Amino acid sequence: MKVNIQHSIELDEIPDKVKEFLQGAAAKNADIVHDMDDVVSCMEGSFSIEKVLEQIDKIRHELANMDHTMLDCTEILHGYQKTLVQLRERPDDGHLAGNGAEVMARPSPEGYADQLKNMRDTMESLKPTNQLDVSEQSKFIREQFDEHVKLMKEGNHDNETRNEET
């Protein structure tokens, strides 16, 4: 079973890390080519169909793993490219453009609404196009946050009403 993990590195280390992944994929590709040669030679003369099928299945799984590594590299480099663009567009205050840092200091419901908008924009820009479960998770997070903002506004409205009555 494949899982995604998170690993923090310095921004300038990303190209080297991706290069490591690609070198690993290249080495795996050499192994796959060798395995393919074995399958072809196995089919000369009398051969076991079961053994050939097992080897082909093994190669297919190795190819799928290599493809997954290539997809990871693609997504990492897309994120790296996006971050470099954001750094070039950085405002004078030193924060990345669009990261919502300026909203974090405001505890008001309006501040939460702004923070929600920034979170939505960020989630949409980071959403992978090939993983449907991520969009479902994003939808769930948005619904939970919308509910939180609604409760905050209702709580604030109730406090204002009580203050007006006294």
pLDDT in tens, 59-114: 999 999 999 999 999 999 999 999 999 998 876 555 555 444 333 343 455 655 66
Q: CA–CA separation, 137 vs 34, rounded Å?
A: 41
| Cβ–Cβ < 8 Å for 143, 123 | no
Question: Given pLDDT bands bounded at 50, 70 and 90, which one contains residue 27?
Answer: very high
Crossing angle, helix 14-42 and helix 49-88, to 10 degrees? 160
Closest residue by Cα to residue 22 from 61, 58, 67, 84: 67
Q: CA–CA separation, 166 vs 151, rounded Å?
A: 23
39: its two tokens: 């399958």
Whole-model pTM over 0.75:
no
User: How many CA atoms are closer than 13 Å to the CA of 29, on its beta-carbon side?
Assistant: 11
| Cβ–Cβ < 8 Å for 123, 138 | yes
For 118-146, the pLDDT digits (tens) are 666 666 666 554 444 555 556 666 666 66
Q: Which domains are assigned to the chain?
A: 10-89 (1.20.58), 94-166 (no CATH)
52: its two tokens: 């050939």
Longest distance between any two alpha carbons in the chain, whole Å: 98
Residue 118 CA, chain-centre distance (Å), reads 17
3-class SS of residue 110: helix
Torsion region of 41: left, alpha or beta (phi above 0 gives left; psi -120 to 50 gives alpha): alpha
3-class SS of residue 107: coil
End-to-end CA distance of the chain: 61
